[in-house]
Amino acid sequence: MSIFLKTQYGENKLTPRQILSDPVLFLAFGFGSGLAKKAPGTFGTLAAIPVYWLFAHANLLFYSVLTMIVTIVGVWICGIAAEKLNEHDFGGIVWDEIAGFLITMWLVPLSWQTVIAGFILFRFFDILKPWPIKWLDRQVQGGLGIMIDDVLAGVFAGGLLLLFVDSGWIN
């Protein structure tokens, strides 16, 4: 028995093998990071860092288009994954964390300081869910409901991170 993986996921009791072999579930579970037994959202955000690093080497327009695609397609990915698991907003679905982290990092320069600060700020807003994030999380269902709280957490975290960068507190 693994200390990192559970043996079954969701109400439909899918196995890690079933999740990793299904392209939609593989993406929804953040390339497998959402299989973590503890703190799958944190592992999903960690999985977003290499994606961000790849996107950050593009110009702002391309980064913006890629981030919007990840976010919009994420509504579909998360909705299908919830149906396959037969459980709304299952903790292992972490595509929303990937999109939220990309949104957090949207307008800031790539540096190890911004990545660490962005990670901390995004996790802060994603976990605490201050108003209106918590309200939206409870009111909106389906794939959009899974995505919306992380998108808004990314907007809040990104705004604060941009303020920190513009003020010179972070390089």
Q: List, as one string, the DSSP characters of 32-67.
A: GGGGBSS-HHHHHHHHHHHHHHHHHTS-HHHHHHHH
Contact present, 123 and 104 (Cβ < 8 Å): no
Which pLDDT belongs to residue 103?
Answer: 98
Does pLDDT of 2 surpass 80? no
Q: Return left, alpha or beta for 32; rule: phi > 0 is left, psi -120 to 50 is alpha, else beta.
A: left
The per-residue pLDDT for range 60-107, each reduced to its tens digit, is 999 999 999 999 999 999 999 999 999 888 899 999 999 999 999 999
Burial class (CB in 10 A: 0-12, 13-18, 19+), 68: middle
Does pLDDT of 1 surpass 80? no
Does pLDDT of 152 surpass 90? yes
| Domain ranges across the chain | 16-166
Could you tell me the pLDDT band of residue 6, with boundaries at 50, 70 and 90? confident
At what angle are helices 95-104 and 142-166 packed, to 10 degrees?
Answer: 30
Which pLDDT belongs to residue 148?
Answer: 94
